[in-house]
Structure 1
């Protein structure tokens, strides 16, 4: 391999150097949250909690430096949406990435001769899926980690390195910091290689230990998680699943080639030499385009390896992988200029039995509370990387846990009720991931999935047809935008269905455009409230046509502002939560509130963002038209830019009025309130004026020291009769 340049993996490797230095000494003994592992899951959790503010967070990692080469590298559309709600993270990652809008499928030549030919070209994700960025982003994990580390630093947090998790012990109920954690300081990481030349990191202990206490411990420490191992040994957790007798290699490289789809996602199945998956990536430090090649290497020489692939993995070299790529891609040729990184792995699909530790009794007989110890990311699930789900699922795991911990820590939520939904929702998604990957990876490798025994003996053409169908059938899951949660205290499906058939509780909010009225700015309404401080709920008050809904809007505004039984008055954070932030409850004031307009620059309760969207032409509308509607007027929008609305006339702003209401299935003569969880999922949709549904929804999992929600008769009495209109 002397003619090929190798990157050894260091801080200068193609742009991964730009991250803050870690902290080395742990200077306190008590923390709100301790996160073990500074990969994508741990950093997403830490960055989110730092953005929310008011938390003391300790993030440890046993490696002395972040990832600088290889590992995960694909960001799917739902994850892009999440990151775009964490600006500037989203824009940074999109700008740095290679975007793949197309997938191509190559198979053995139909005439039986040696070589491959293209069989299909398709848009990566169907246009009907309502995806803002209809692509997959190729970006090396080290650059992603660097982005999170910079985002943490912007919000006052850094990672402590090199520290390793060793043990935890649960204390009894009632303890404020009930998890006692033992850590050990490590020596700087040493890089070496295995027999085949694949990189291996060696981290040795120093013998220096430290004991700390925390309210919450989260294991984000990967497939060999020490936190999970402790839960398996002492608390009955199990990692269930199977290994598959297929061996793959991942090679990050710069090539010169005549293969026409080298900058598209390309799936290649040869007749005898296995499969190849090409994934475009960012440029390296020399400006050269990188690609990731996932290569089946247990068919080297055209015959399937007969032994245990886990023994073979140590012997596979980069040269063997490059030879396999040229065999699979024949008649096209790949000339390898640079190898950035490579590894070899067998495929396994495994899922942990629980994502959080329920209430129980320790080995010493101490009874402890539920949901103080959690797992996220690859500590929960392992699978093949080719469908691009690992890092994405890890990031969404972390997002799901972050907003729950935030609300509990600030005294807004019933801790056991809200935190129990983390396991139920994310474990279900993890099982879907394992089931999908078992089918997809088997078909990718030319094997028969266990879920499809009827395919035994099927022709190669039939298997390829099934593979393509599986890829398209599961597009909702692989993009992330089709992941749904079952009905629970957070998702009121029946109530939502009674109001609209186009939004579904437990599903991500359908994207739509509106005009931010105070600045006449067209905005993606789902991104108006960023995933940052204070971390509250979004209530899209779809006010419809104010000529029809004016009375209900006035009644709703009066109820929210004046009645002590309304949710914005009953559910407030503990005193001092987020008090260290620059702008009250915000690190940075949202543009919708940062206007200088007196009375329109504050939230009545910043944990409930009330976004009023009216069906109107912004040029035929004035602020005086919503006089008396506080607290609904701070976040004010008009529905005149979403495609599909009514054309009122030839004036500016008349082109499409009411498109958002139509897309969301909301009657503009009745109006509705769409409640979104902090993660952007629909919780419930209520008719405008249906206070009972809103109060019962929030009362199901939030914590209040005030009176119970209003009854039906109370709600009816609050409907103020008035003849005035907006």
Structure 2
């Protein structure tokens, strides 16, 4: 670190410059990487061990049965800086991958509130708070109605431990060089990798940390069924797709320079532990984001700081030319100028970097089929990219890592079903690009508007704001953030109709939607129910975790048994017939892997009871959760004994708020609340089909028309395997 960086800042007596290493912020407990690649053929090769790559690898390891190679050019994981915000939908996804979710929630700093600061209304120099709001609207049905601040190194460490628990480690330091297709029907992608030297940490002209990674010249060539590029905004996998396959990476830059500074401060600014958006009159903008404690137990904050208005007017120098000249001292001075009259004294600078803002989006998330220059023909959906390799944007809205994790989740479950012998590769994998590219476009459009407004610029999408008053711009900025809350939380993401989603159910033979509360293509509304076997109140969306075997969840809303028993019996008889999707679509037994509990790494609590006849599924790639609208004290297993495959996952709908209060008896406080919340008639019942990622695929009636609709639904993207003589559970134990 250069000497000018270690001089005191304008408002501080002493500053400690902290350089990230393996002990920084408690990240020392990640497992050691593997250094030698000993095999030549893999099911999936993942390039990059950031959040996108680790989510992909951890998911596939959890599903079991896949040979996955994860490589990263760095000799160690992230230890300081980079991404640090986890949004509510991502928290929800991670809570479906326990213990990851609980660990991250425990380690992080939660922000439940946002405050907005603007130039003083009396015209004097300085800022004043103009608004305080809860982070996200309560009507969004979010368990963790907050944003978590947690350093990327801790997140990577959690993923690495989760991978190790499921038999997977990262190989380091190996860099991606190139890929090409070869005449191999099983392993058609040939990938060249190069062994790298240990990373050397250095600094640029301004003192911001940079990494120097030099090659050794050792080349390794391998083959794989699938290549997944998760190697960041400068993705080399994407570069190969651009150079050889016509993929484009399009977008624009906002000529505004920002810095990210992780620091420990003493200040009189009252909202230092809240997310605070601050706009000064002449010196630019500042965004404060609370973070976890450092290794000394001191609270860190991330300061996103506009640094090209430090002199009171926008610099005429190009943001890209200026970025390497910005020092930590300049950033700290900018913070105090923007936040005046409040003072920030900087005790520790943990990490900082400087960047211009750009919004760019790749044209394809998966490579279509075609013919290579050498004449080799190749199939579609063998090469994918995810995360920042697909989309780059500003970090202030906290979307990059979150979108990357959901990209990876979306891809991993699809690959799992295809490789388990269930999914149609073309039909199922094509929906990855279709759904996630649309989401990426929404992200870029939102960020282009949000980042420009934050930087005091007029978004290109709203030229009508040119010449608008400061008051109007202030209101518009706030409204942009609030109207996009569904998207920024992730909870409001909506996928278009395709073979997986049927908002319009008519292609399935259903005239109109069954529920006016659940929307196909959107995440399932979280609700509470009672797990009957243990009388445990549970959040029903987390009863089936995102792990082996990686199947669909069918929530059989059984309503009131006196009204629906005959329908449930008919559905059970249908599921047991050889012609039903439940019997026809089965995984290849050889692909299941030797997991500890048949098709599971660990038994789900609902099945781990020892109650004879109620613990084994006939086909666990279709989890059938029967939810009865009744007091848990008022029905018994014998009441569902004849329902065959419907009786294993048994729940009472008696704890979700909004149900009927039948009497003063225990358990009668809220009968049918889940059914009402989901818009299901308690006298009719329905079946809600959820994809492995928790998004609603279709809702069908609990009658013959519904059975036929389910057949059409699953026939749309699954492939039938003939004449298995054993159940999946039996096969996995052989």
Q: TM-score, normalised by structure 2?
A: 0.95
Alignment of 1:599 onto 2:613: yes
Q: Aligned to 1:557, what secondary structure does the other structure show?
A: helix
Which position in structure 1 is the counterpart of 2:39? 28
Alignment of 1:179-258 (within 5 A): 179-258=189-268
Question: Are 1:96 and 1:282, in contact at CA under 8 Å, matched by a contact in 2?
Answer: yes
Match of 1:698 in 2: 714
8 Å Cα contact 1:248/1:345 also seen in 2 = yes
Decide which moves more: 10-19 or 670-679: 10-19
1:97 corresponds, among 100, 108, 115, to: 108
1:615 equivalenced with 2:625 (yes/no) = no
Q: What's 2:531 paired with?
A: 516
Equivalent residue for 2:138? 127
Give the aligned partner of residue 728 of structure 2. Answer: none
Q: 1:68 maps to what in 2?
A: 79
Counterpart mapping for 1:7-156 below 5 A: 7-156=18-167
SS at match of 1:631: helix
Of 346, 352, 355, the residue aligned with 2:365 is: 355
Q: Tell me the residue number matched to 1:384.
A: 394
State the 1:493 CA deviation.
1.2
Q: Which residue, out of 537, 548, 564, partners 2:552?
A: 537
Partner of 1:714: none
Q: CA deviation at 1:579?
A: 3.0
Q: 1:587 — aligned with what?
A: 601
Give yes or no for the alignment of 1:291 onto 2:301. Answer: yes
Q: Find runs of 4+ consecutive structure 1 residues off by over 6 angstroms.
A: none
Match of 2:726 in 1: none
* DSSP 3-state at the match of 2:301: strand
Aligned mate of 2:654, from 636, 640, 644: 640
Is 2:583 the counterpart of 1:576?
A: no
- The alignment status of 1:498 with 2:520, answered yes or no, reads no
Aligned 8 A contact 1:35 1:220 in 2: yes
Where does residue 688 of structure 1 map in the other structure?
A: 702
Contact 2:117 2:279 in 1 (8 A): yes
Checking the alignment, whether the CA contact within 8 Å between 2:114 and 2:134 is kept in structure 1 is yes
2:729 corresponding residue in structure 1: none
Q: Secondary structure at the match of 1:540?
A: strand
Shift of 1:171: 1.9
Q: After superposition, what is the alpha-carbon deviation per residue over 1:448-491, rounded to whole angstroms, capped at 9, x for unaligned?
A: 00111000001111111000000000000000000010000000
Question: 1:231-280: per-residue Cα shift (whole Å, max 9, x none)?
Answer: 00000000000011000000000000000000000000000000000000
Q: Of residues 673, 676, 680 in structure 2, which corresponds to 1:659?
A: 673
How far did 1:175 drift?
Answer: 1.1
In the alignment, is the contact (CA less than 8 A) between 1:534 and 1:607 conserved in 2?
yes
Give the 3-state SS of the residue equivalent to 1:250 in structure 2: strand
What SS does the aligned partner of 2:125 have? coil
**Cα deviation per residue 1:39-63 (whole Å; 9 max; x = unaligned)?**
0000000000000000000000000
3-state secondary structure, aligned to 1:606: coil
How do residues 703-722 of structure 1 correspond to structure 2 at under 5 angstroms? 703-706=719-722
| Maintained 8 Å contact 2:588/2:721 | no
The whole-number CA distance in structure 2 between the counterparts of 1:417 and 1:627 is 37
3-state SS in 1 of match to 2:519: coil
Residues 565 and 706 of structure 1 are in contact (CA less than 8 Å); yes or no, is this contact kept in structure 2?
no
Q: Distance in 1 between matches of 2:504 and 2:453?
A: 38
Q: How does 1:162-181 map to 2 (within 5 A)?
A: 162-172=173-183, 175-181=185-191
Partner of 2:278: 268
* CA distances 1:57-83 after superposition (whole Å, capped 9, x unpaired): 000000000000000000000000000
Residue in 2 that maps onto 1:307:
317
Q: Unpaired segments of 5 or more residues in structure 1?
A: 708-726
Asked if structure 2 preserves the Cα contact closer than 8 Å seen for 1:544 and 1:661, the reply is yes
> Aligned residues, how many?
705
Instruction: State whether residues 33 and 217 of structure 1, in contact with CA within 8 Å, keep that contact through their aligned partners in structure 2.
Output: yes
> What does residue 371 of structure 1 align with?
381
How far apart are residue 705 of structure 1 and its match? 3.6
Alpha-carbon shift at residue 706 of structure 1 (Å): 5.0
Find the counterpart in structure 2 of residue 525 from structure 1: 540
Maintained 8 Å contact 1:15/1:143? yes
Q: Any unmatched runs of 5+ in structure 2?
A: 1-5, 8-13, 724-734
For 1:298 and 1:598, the matched residues in 2 are separated by: 70
C-alpha deviation, 1:14, in angstroms: 1.4
Q: Is the 8 A contact 2:174 2:195 kept in 1?
A: yes
**Are the counterparts in 2 of residues 513 and 522 from structure 1 also a CA contact under 8 Å?**
yes
Alpha-carbon distance in structure 2 between the residues aligned to 1:285 and 1:549: 58
**Does structure 1 conserve the Cα–Cα contact (< 8 Å) formed by 2:551 and 2:692?**
yes
CA RMSD of aligned residues (A): 0.8
Secondary structure at the aligned position of 1:494 is classed as: coil
Contact 1:640 1:656 in 2 (8 A): yes
Q: Which moved more, 1:577-586 or 1:430-439?
A: 577-586
SS of alignment partner, residue 592 of structure 1: helix
Post-superposition CA distance 1:116-139 (Å, at most 9, x none)? 000000000000110010000000
Q: In structure 2, do the counterparts of structure 1 residues 485 and 533 end up closer, same or farther at CA, with 3 Å as the change threshold? A: same
Q: Higher mean Cα deviation, 342-351 or 598-607? A: 598-607
How much does 1:577 deviate? Answer: 2.0
Separation in structure 1 between the aligned mates of residue 615 and residue 315 of structure 2, nearest angstrom: 67
